[in-house]
Amino acid sequence: MILYLRGVNTFQTICVIVLSLGALQGLSYGIILLRNQGPNKAANKYLAFILLFFSYRLAVEVLQFFGLGIYDFWYHILLEYNWIYGALIYFFVLSIIKPDFKLSSKDWIHFLPVLLEFLWSNFIKFQNFYWDGTRESLTWLGYWGYVVWVQFPTMYLICGGLILYYSFKAKAQLLQIINTNIEVTSAKVQWVLNLLLVLQIFSIFFMAITLVDLIFFNYAFDSFYRTPLFLGLAIITYGLGLIGFSKRDSVIIKQKKVLTPKEDEELTKIVLQLNNLMKTQKVYTNPELTLRNLAEQLNIKSYLLTKCLNLKYGKSFNTYINEKRIEELKSLLEKPENKKITLLGLAFEVGFNSKASFNRSVKKITGKSPKALKIK
């Protein structure tokens, strides 16, 4: 190893440091995310596996800088798992979309490529025990398998293709959710879309470099362009670890509880009572109205009212009441006799108890300033 290191220049030393830091960082965050028990547990688990496998690949590259893993003992120990990245990326995105996502029996087929890679790679490595430098020393399958696997960039091209395929597949799932779920906006999933875009660009670049190398340089895979590719992977690993750690408890989509027929019937009755109370008595105009007061008027427990508002309206008590007040305010603004009354005066009339709470509620619910309510 010492003899090998004598040929390492400054650039290679920097590369070893960057790759090592990427591997260590990915390993550290991978372990942290794997142990996370927060609301995003499933997504964190798949992200952890992505980081751990990226880290493993970077560590293999570092060892090869020191001459390890090139037709020696480590060559048989360091196994190939390059075809697992795509499936993990896909399941990571699915578990973001569905926080309670679990692998079904049909999902395991997505790991078939990495199983084939593992078996085939070991079969090719096993040929070294028989090879004496002549073609005749190997079986037909062993010889041509070796040619396809070692003398052509088969492993890397399929790896890049799988990442590309699963990245687009995952992106399609995200876009479908954005288009069909009004609670999910592109802003909420932008960091995931950005991650998929980076992986797509990296895969295309990786495959293009490999093909150019194969066509024009007879697949030398020289360190001149191989090293920058893995430096890119190190940067992706580092960034993915930081972002993943910061978003580890960020749930994009809250799963709605599936109500039993009995629960649905009970909450539907409360909805009818609530609508009638709001229409006939306009209790929301009471600035002292609380969740408990409203529940007492409906003759139900407070928790049932909260459950009804959350599951039937998808709103909190404050949001629901303030929306009613703003609707009433708009109605008052349409009446000629209220033209001379100030906006704040009308706001107090519909139940708001301060200028600050009125301004804050209008901005939150309508996305506009209170003055916009008077503009027609």
Q: Stretch 208-234: mean pLDDT, rounded?
A: 80
Tens digit of each residue's pLDDT (9 = 90 or more) over 146-162: 888 888 888 989 999 99
Same domain, 38 and 117: yes
In a domain, 251, yes or no: no
Instruction: Look at residue 50 in the predicted model and tell me its pLDDT.
Output: 96
**How confident is the model over 95-100, as a mean pLDDT?**
84
pLDDT of residue 5: 45
What is the pLDDT confidence band of residue 298, given thresholds at 50, 70 and 90? very high
Quickly count: other Cβ atoms within 10 Å of residue 139's Cβ: 11
Q: Considering the domain boundaries, does residue 145 fall inside one? A: yes
Q: What is the mean pLDDT of residues 253-267?
A: 76
CA–CA distances in Å: residue 76 to residues 22, 33, 72, 112, 118: 24, 30, 7, 21, 12
Q: Are residues 56 and 159 in the same domain?
A: yes
Q: How far apart are the first and last CA of the chain?
A: 79
Note whether residue 110 is domain-resident. Answer: yes
Domain stops at, among 246, 270, 298: 246
- Averaged over 53-74, what is the pLDDT? 88
pLDDT range class, residue 25, cuts 50, 70, 90: very high
Res. 185 pLDDT band, cuts 50 70 90:
low
CATH number at residue 133: 1.20.1070
Same domain assignment for residues 211 and 104: yes
In-domain check, residue 195: yes
The residue with greater pLDDT, 368 or 9, is: 368
pLDDT above 80: residue 71 = no
Based on the domain organization, do 297 and 201 belong to the same domain?
no
Residue 136 is predicted with a pLDDT of 85
At 176 the pLDDT is 83
Among 96-105, 106-115, 261-270, top mean pLDDT goes to: 106-115
If you average pLDDT over every residue of the chain, what do you get?
Answer: 86
Percent of the chain clearing pLDDT 70 (strictly above): 91
Task: Determine the number of helices (DSSP H) and then strands (DSSP E) in the chain.
Answer: 16, 0
- DSSP symbols for 297-317: HHTS-HHHHHHHIIIII---H
How many domains does the chain contain in total? 2
The CA–CA distances, whole Å, from 74 to 5, 66, 80, 146, 180 equal 18, 12, 12, 18, 50
Whether 55 and 26 have beta carbons less than 8 Å apart is answered as yes
Q: Does residue 202 share a domain with residue 307? A: no
- Give mean pLDDT, residues 136-150: 87
Residue 268's CB: how many other CB atoms inside 10 A?
13
C-alpha–C-alpha distance, residues 144 and 149, integer Å: 8
Confidence class for position 376, pLDDT limits 50, 70, 90 = low
Tell me the pTM: 0.67
Give the range among 172-176, 254-258, 267-271, 345-349 with minimum mean pLDDT. 254-258
Taking only the tens place, the pLDDT of each residue in 114-137 is: 999 999 999 988 888 888 778 888
51 or 337: which carries more pLDDT confidence? 51
φ/ψ region of 301 (left if φ > 0, alpha if ψ in -120 to 50, else beta) reads beta
Is pLDDT at 262 greater than 70 in this prediction?
yes
Residue ending a domain, choose from 246, 277, 293: 246
Q: What was the pLDDT predicted at 256?
A: 56
Residues 6+ apart with CB under 8 A from 373: 326, 329, 330, 333, 343, 362, 366
**Same domain? 14 vs 112:** yes
User: Is residue 255 predicted with pLDDT exceeding 60?
Assistant: no
255 domain residue, yes or no:
no
Q: Do 87 and 227 fall into the same domain?
A: yes
| Residue 256 included in any domain | no
**252 domain residue, yes or no:** no
- Cβ contact 214:162 at 8 Å: no
Residue 271 has pLDDT above 50, yes or no: yes
Rounded alpha-carbon distances, angstroms, from residue 360 to 245, 278, 326, 352, 371: 32, 22, 12, 11, 13
**Could you read off the pLDDT of 306-317 as tens digits, one per residue?**
889 888 887 889
3-state SS assignment for residue 187: coil
Confidence grade of residue 181 (pLDDT, cut at 50, 70, 90): low
Total residue length of the chain = 376
Percent of the chain with pLDDT over 90: 46
Place 49 in a pLDDT band, splitting at 50, 70 and 90. Answer: very high
Domain extent, residue 59, equals 2-246
* pLDDT tier, 182 (very low <50, low <70, confident <90, very high otherwise): low
Same domain flag for 71 and 100: yes
Same domain for 105 and 11? yes
Whether 173 and 287 map to the same domain: the answer is no
What's the one-letter identity of residue 371?
Answer: K
- Gap between the Cα atoms of 298 and 306, Å rounded: 12
Q: Which helix (H) or strand (E) holds 345?
A: helix 343-349
- Considering the domain boundaries, does residue 25 fall inside one? yes
pLDDT at residue number 158: 94
